[in-house]
Structures are given as structure tokens and as C-alpha cells.
Amino acid sequence: MIKVGGVLDGRYRVLRELGQGGGGIIFQAYHMTLQKYVVIKKIKDEKVKALDVRKEADILKKLHHPYLPQVYDFLIVDREVFTVMDFIDGHDLRWYMDSGILFSEQQLLRMLLELCDVLEYLHGQRPPIIHRDIKPGNIMIRENGEICLIDFNISFSENGGRVGGYSYYFAPPEQLSGSGYVPDVRGDVYSLGATFFYVMTGVRPRESSLKSTVVENAYSKGLFRIIRKAMEKQPEKRYQNIGQMRRALERQAEGAYRLVKPLAGAAGLLVVLLLGMALVLWRREKQEALFAQQYSAYVLAASSEDGAERVTDGLEILNTEGFARILKQRPKQKAVILEEIADGYFAEENYSSAASYYAEAAQIQPDSIGQMADVRDQILALIRSGNLEEAGHCVEEDGRGLSNETLQYIEAEFLVAEDEKEAALKQMDQLLESGQERDLLLRCCLYGAQYSRETEGYDRELVYLKRAEAYADTLEYHRKIGDLFLDIWQSDNKKERKKEALAGAERCYQKVCRDQNAGYVDRLNLAMILEIKGSYRDALELLKALVQTAPEDYRAYREAAFVLYGQEQQKPLKNRAKEPILYYGRLAQQYYGDRTDDEQMEQLKAMLERLQGK
């Protein structure tokens, strides 16, 4: 039997349970041979009976596509069957929908084209592989913004026989009809259309009459036309394959379907009244569209902002006069904004303000999982602010729904506040041995790293930071852990430890920079890490890309000059070139101007003077 903390098949250390998919229980594990994180799915017993496991394994292992998780293994251990595949960082489309995020048409087209790409690949296998369960929960968006189509291992079969389940709202009508259904590619066409109909409208197919409930004003008519054709009830009226749908989407992306319908003219008082009513509705719709745009941009960009920016941008939305009615009607989205503001204050160590916003977020979403997370964070903020009495009262009054692991962690935070740091670490270490709540385990690792630096030294801190990497699942945490690795590299004198810390920093910042929300400074930091490592060519490529992004920012030119200098120093003296160094150095000085706040620019100035023989 698979057990958290145990080792499966001598290769996979099981870290935590992730949940349950359509085919079985899912775990995160660490592949000790490949040294990477993987997902292990234990297939439910009733599913095992329907599978030719070895045949299934051969089909899946031969699939290689950037928008599919790589399948590594099928295991049979003690009569239980497991699949092993890539661990995908990110969230599924269902999470984005639940968070109230509105995608732009450009984003939707990119996702649709990527999905068409991977489905064409699957359908092009011989024999064709049909997914048969495309839905929001099975479409992941990676940290770098690319999609990944998951949960296909139970759905595939070569002979067209039904293996695995389907989702009622997104399955084609013929699949629901029962007997005599033979899956073909047009079923995946329908499910893809139905999924994005839901993403675009918030209405699940079959929930109600589509014509009467959908207001098609957020996206172009052309895109809706493509989605509706994919969703035709009769298979012969749909796109007959994914390639046809892809070509229609490509034309849409080029603007071929963008039509503007002119308003018809009219006269008389009735028209004036109707126009007045239309103007009110138009203004309301425009305000709601503006809110959706600002809300989505804020939530998606929050992970790349520092705490102060997150607070400022969130408060701007809350305090916009025209959004008051909308926020009242959408408490869930208001709660998300409040939580982001609270997180920003927490990051800035303004714990009392953070506690207030967490409390407000908890009040407007009672009896939910989100409320318990807000209560937990409110308590932690109160403890960090030194208000232990109120924190204790909050635990007694509002903490009844908190898990035992959360209460154990809160107790450890109380110990830290009372300067019982060793006892706190012991409590957190116990939680690390038996706990399963990822966020809490990550917090324990970060505290362990901090405490170890103060008491036991860098070796122990490195152990905690490496463990923290396993639990980090957001850009912010990857960045924070990377910065802690860099602190060790800068502070330590032991060569091997410095090398280990620099490698950790590179791993973290590579993950950060794969995220589409990574910022200029993130990429600059990665370039500096690559420079220190001696990977001059990779560093220079990254810096050239930054120059294209922000041509008037002096920092990329500054680092390019340093990188080129380091690269030239590796050559014999007679072969060294100084012109490229001088070129980037002078550009850095030009855009830096008369400022005096960057010590590295003084170092650059001295380096350039040496090269010019001054």
C-alpha cells in the first residue's frame, strides 16, 4: 500500500497526497534516480480490470509532446497499479474560473491553438488516441504560461472501447447516448469547444438554454462562431477533425473574423428612450468589463509584484467608485483582492494591517475553505505583530475549523514569538515528518533555514532550503528560496557550499523565469547567477532579451559589460577584445545618467577606465 513518507518500487519517495482524479488517488513523489518531482496515480481497482496495463504502458511511454506530461512508468506493486508521470507546476483552468479570472481573447486563442497542436499529435498516432475527457480540470497552465493536457492515461485505448469516465457537461451528446457509441476525434472537438464555451461565458453547456443566457460581448463574434461550430450536436456538422478547427482559429487570430455590426438608425421619442436605456446598460456593461479586466490583470500579476505594489494596486481597485456595486455582487472576487492586499502587507512585515484584511476576507466568505485559510493567516499575522492575546482569542473563537496540522504550526509560531525558538523548531520538525499540508511544510522549512543560520550554520540551512524547494509552488516562493541560496553564496567562505548554494539559486530562478509573470529583475538576477557560474553565453543571451524588452534600462547593459569582461578574461591576453565591453559599458553610463545610487556603476566606471588605459 502506498504511504506518504515511504518509498515505492525503490525509486519514488512519496511526499504528499494531492487529491483524487477520475481514475484514482494522486500523489506527489520524488524520483530519486532522475532527481525530479513526479506524480504517481494509484489506479482504482475497478479501473484496473478494464485495462491491459502493459499495452497501456507501451502506448503512453512512446508519447513525447511539449503539451503533454511525460509518462515514465507503469508499476504493479502488491497487486496495485500505479502510473508515474511529470509533476506539472501551475493551476488548471477550473482554478482560474473559480478565481473569477477573465482571459483576453489573445490568451484564449493561444491556449486553443496549443491544445489543437497536442490533440492533432494524439489523433495522428496509429491507431489514433482519443482523449475523451477534455474539461477545465484536465487543462493545466504551467508557470511559464503554456498549457499541459493531463489525465489522459485512463482514457486512452487503441481499440475504441470505453475505458475511464467522462464529464457530463463537456462530453459530446453521442457519448451520453449510451449503447453503440464508438469514440472518434469529433468527440474531442466537441469537448474542446464546450470547455472554452464555459471559460468564455461562465455557463456550463447543458445548464440552460445557451441562446438565452449568453451575452456575447466579451469576445469577438468570430471566436464564438468557431466554438459553437465545434459544439454542434450532430457530429457531421462539427469540424471533422482538430486540424480544421485549428485552421479556423489561426484565421481568427489573424483578424479574418473580426466584424463590426453597425447600429441601425431610428427616429422618435421611443428611440430616444431606448437609446437612453441602452446607454445606461452600456455604461454598466463597460464598467463591469473594466472591472473584469483590472481584476484579472491584478490577480495574474500579483505574483510578480512586491508587497507594496500588491497593496497599492489592490486598494486602487477596492476604492474605485464605479466598482462598489460590482464588488458587493461578487464577494468571492472581493475576498481574493482583500487576500492579495493582506499578503502584500504580510510580505512588507506590516502584520497588523495584514491581520485586518485577512479578517475582512474571512467575514465575506463564511463556511468555506477560503475562510479557514484567511483565519489561519489572520492568526499568524497577529502573532507576528506581537498581539498574542488577540491571536489566542481568534484561535478559540474562529479556529474550530482549522486542521490539526494548522493548529500545530500556529502553536510553533507562538513559541517563536515567546523566544522559545528551539522548541518551535522541534515542533516544526515533527510536522515535517508527518504533515501533508504543503504551505505549512514550506513555512516550516523556511523557519528551519532561518534558525539554522543563526545556530547550526550553513550546512543545516541548505538541507532545509532544498526541502523547501519540494514544496514551493509559486513564483514568490521560488524567488524567496533562490534569494536565500544567494545569501549563503555571498556570506559563506567554503568553496563546496558556495557551489551548492549557487546551484540552488540557479534552480529557483530558472523556475521563476519560466513563469510568464517573471519580471525584469528576476531575469536580471538569473543572468547574474549564470555570470557567476561562468555560463557567459547563456547570461548574454538573457541580457540581450532584456535589452529588447526595456531598451532604456541601464542595468542589462551594465551586466552585459561585466559578462563580456568575464568571458574575455578566460582567453589568452593577446586574444582579448575590449570593444564589445566598452560598447555595453558606455550604453549603461548613458542611460544611468547623473544618478549616484548604484555602487556597481562605480565598479563599471573603474573597469572601463582600465580598459581605456586611463
Q: Is the predicted pLDDT of residue 579 greater than 70, yes or no? A: yes
Q: Give burial (CB, 10 Å; 0-12/13-18/19+) of 54.
A: exposed
**Cell numbers representing residue 100 in the block:** 473569477
pLDDT at 456: 79
pLDDT at position 463 over 80:
yes
> Taking all residues of the chain, what is their mean pLDDT, rounded to a whole number?
84
Mean pLDDT of 190-196: 95
The predicted structure's pLDDT at residue 514: 86
As a whole number of angstroms, the distance between CA 12 and CA 39 comes to 10
- pLDDT computed for residue 54 by the predictor: 60
Helices (H), 348-437: 351-363, 369-385, 388-398, 404-417, 421-434
Q: Strands 24-31 and 36-43: what pairing?
A: antiparallel
Which pLDDT band, with edges at 50, 70 and 90, does 299 fall under? confident
Closest CA to 425 of 469, 456, 394: 456
- pLDDT value of residue 281: 44
More confident residue, 279 or 364: 364
pLDDT band at 21 (very low <50, low <70, confident <90, very high): low
Quote the pLDDT of residue 278: 45
- Is the pLDDT at 274 greater than 60? The verdict is no
- Residue 439 pLDDT: 87
pLDDT value at position 169?
Answer: 84
- Dist. CA 510–CA 151, nearest whole Å: 26
9-23, 189-203, 345-359 — which is least confidently predicted?
A: 9-23
Task: Check whether 355 has a pLDDT greater than 90.
Answer: yes
Give the model's pLDDT for residue 490. 92
What value does the mean pLDDT take over residues 115-132?
Answer: 91
Handedness of CA 298, 303, 306, 307 (dihedral sign): positive
Q: Which of 197-201, 217-221, 354-358 has the lowest mean pLDDT?
A: 217-221
Residue 280's pLDDT is 44
Q: What is the pLDDT of residue 180?
A: 65
Mean pLDDT over 241-252 rounds to 93
Give the per-residue pLDDT at 240. 94
Answer yes or no: are the C-beta atoms of 532 and 160 closer than 8 Å: no
**What's the confidence (pLDDT) of residue 50?**
46
Over 60: is that where the pLDDT of 46 sits? no
Average pLDDT over residues 18-43: 79
Position 152 scores a pLDDT of: 64
> Would you place residue 268 in the very low, low, confident or very high pLDDT band (cuts 50, 70, 90)?
very low
- pLDDT, position 267: 43
Alpha-carbon span 603 to 591, nearest angstrom: 16
Phi first, then psi, for residue 9 (nearest 5°) are 55, 25
- Split at pLDDT 50, 70, 90, the class of 270 is very low
Residue 42 · residue 153 · CB < 8 Å: no
Domains of the chain: 7-86 (3.30.200.20), 90-253 (1.10.510.10), 536-614 (1.25.40)
**Selection from 77-81, 363-367, 435-439, 486-490 with the highest mean pLDDT:** 486-490
> Please, are residues 371 and 358 in contact by the beta-carbon 8 Å criterion?
no
Residue 208 carries which side chain, given as an amino acid letter? S
* pLDDT score at 614: 67
**DSSP states of 110-164 as a string?**
HHHHHHHHHHHHHHTSSS--------GGGEEEETTS-EEE---TTT--SS----S
Pick from 202, 200, 88, 226: nearest CA to 145: 88
Mean pLDDT, rounded, for 134-147:
88
Q: Is 340 exposed, middle or buried (0-12, 13-18, 19+ CB in 10 A)?
A: buried
- Looking only at Cα atoms, what is the longest distance across the chain? 89
pLDDT at 283: 53
Highest mean pLDDT among 220-224, 322-326, 477-481: 477-481
Least trusted range by pLDDT, from 92-106, 124-138, 337-351, 573-587: 92-106
Q: What is the pLDDT at residue 53?
A: 58
Q: Identify the band that residue 275 occupies on the pLDDT scale cut at 50, 70 and 90.
A: very low
Least confident interval from 344-353, 440-449, 450-459, 564-573: 450-459
Assess whether pLDDT exceeds 80 at residue 16. Answer: yes
Q: State the pLDDT confidence band at 37, using cuts at 50, 70 and 90.
A: confident
Per-residue model confidence as pLDDT tens digits over 47-94 = 555 455 566 666 777 888 989 988 888 888 877 888 888 888 888 898
Higher pLDDT pick, 14 / 52: 14
